[in-house]
Amino acid sequence: MIVSAHAMAMEFTLHVDDSVDKDVLATTMDHVERDLIWVDEVFSTFKEDSCISRIGRGETTVEECPPAVAQVLDMCAEYRDATGGAFDAVRPDGRIDPTGIVKTWAMERVRWRLDSLPVRGWMWGCAGDATVSGQGPDDGRVWRVGIAHPESRFQSVGTVVLGGRRTAIATSGTTIHADHIWPTTDDGARYVQASVVGDDLVACDAWATAIVAGGEKAALAAQEHGLDVLALRLVDGKVLADRSPGWSWAA
Amino acid sequence: MKTSRAFMVGGAAAAALTAGWALTPKDSSTSAYASTSDSTDTSSSDSDGTYTGEAVQTRYGVYQVEITVSGGEVTDVTLVQEGETDHESEQIKSVALPELIQEVLDTQSSDVTYVSGASFTSEGFAQSVADAFDQAGL
Does residue B48 sit within a domain?
yes
Full set of structural domains in chain A with CATH: 2-243 (3.10.520.10)
B18 CA to chain A: closest CA distance, Å?
Answer: 9
Number of domain units in chain B = 1
Cross-strand partners of B61: B58
- Of how many residues is chain B composed? 138
The CATH number of the domain where B85 resides is what? 3.90.1010.20
Q: Which of A145, A175, A220 sits opposite B121 (nearest CB)?
A: A175
Among A residues 75-94, those touching chain B with beta carbons less than 8 Å apart: 83-88, 91-92
Q: What pLDDT tens digit does each residue of chain A (251 aa) get? A: 999 999 998 899 999 998 899 999 999 999 999 999 999 999 999 899 999 999 999 999 999 999 999 999 999 999 999 998 888 888 777 888 888 899 999 999 999 999 999 999 999 999 999 999 999 998 889 999 999 998 877 789 999 999 998 999 999 987 544 333 344 455 677 899 999 999 999 999 999 999 988 889 999 999 999 999 999 998 888 999 999 999 989 98
- Asked if the structure places residue B10 within a domain, the reply is no
Alpha helices in chain B (DSSP H): 11-21, 25-39, 121-136
B20 to A240: CB separation less than 8 angstroms, yes or no:
no
Distance between CA atoms of A69 and A66, rounded to whole angstroms?
6
Q: What is the CA A189 to chain-centroid distance, rounded? A: 22
Instruction: Look at A145 and B114 and tell me if their CB atoms are within 8 Å.
Output: yes
172-191 in chain A: CB under 8 A from chain B: 172-178, 187
Domain that holds residue B92: 32-136
Question: What one-letter code names the amino acid at A39?
Answer: V
Q: Is residue B51 part of a domain?
A: yes
Contacting residues of A for B123, CB less than 8 Å apart: 8-10, 46, 99
In a domain, B106, yes or no: yes
Q: Residue B12 falls within a domain, yes or no?
A: no
User: Which candidate, B55, B57, B59, B60, places its Cα nearest to that of B79?
Assistant: B55
Backbone angles phi, psi at A22, to 5 degrees: -65, -35
As for the ipTM of the complex, it is 0.86
Question: How are beta strands A238-243 and A152-162 bridged, if at all?
Answer: unpaired
| pTM over cut 0.90 | no
Q: Is B8 on the interface with A (CB under 8 A)?
A: no
Question: How many whole angstroms separate alpha carbon A249 and alpha carbon A238?
Answer: 18
Chain B positions in Cβ-Cβ contact with residue A217 (cut-off 8 Å): 92-94, 97
Whether B2 maps to a domain, the answer reads no
Is B44 contained in some domain? yes
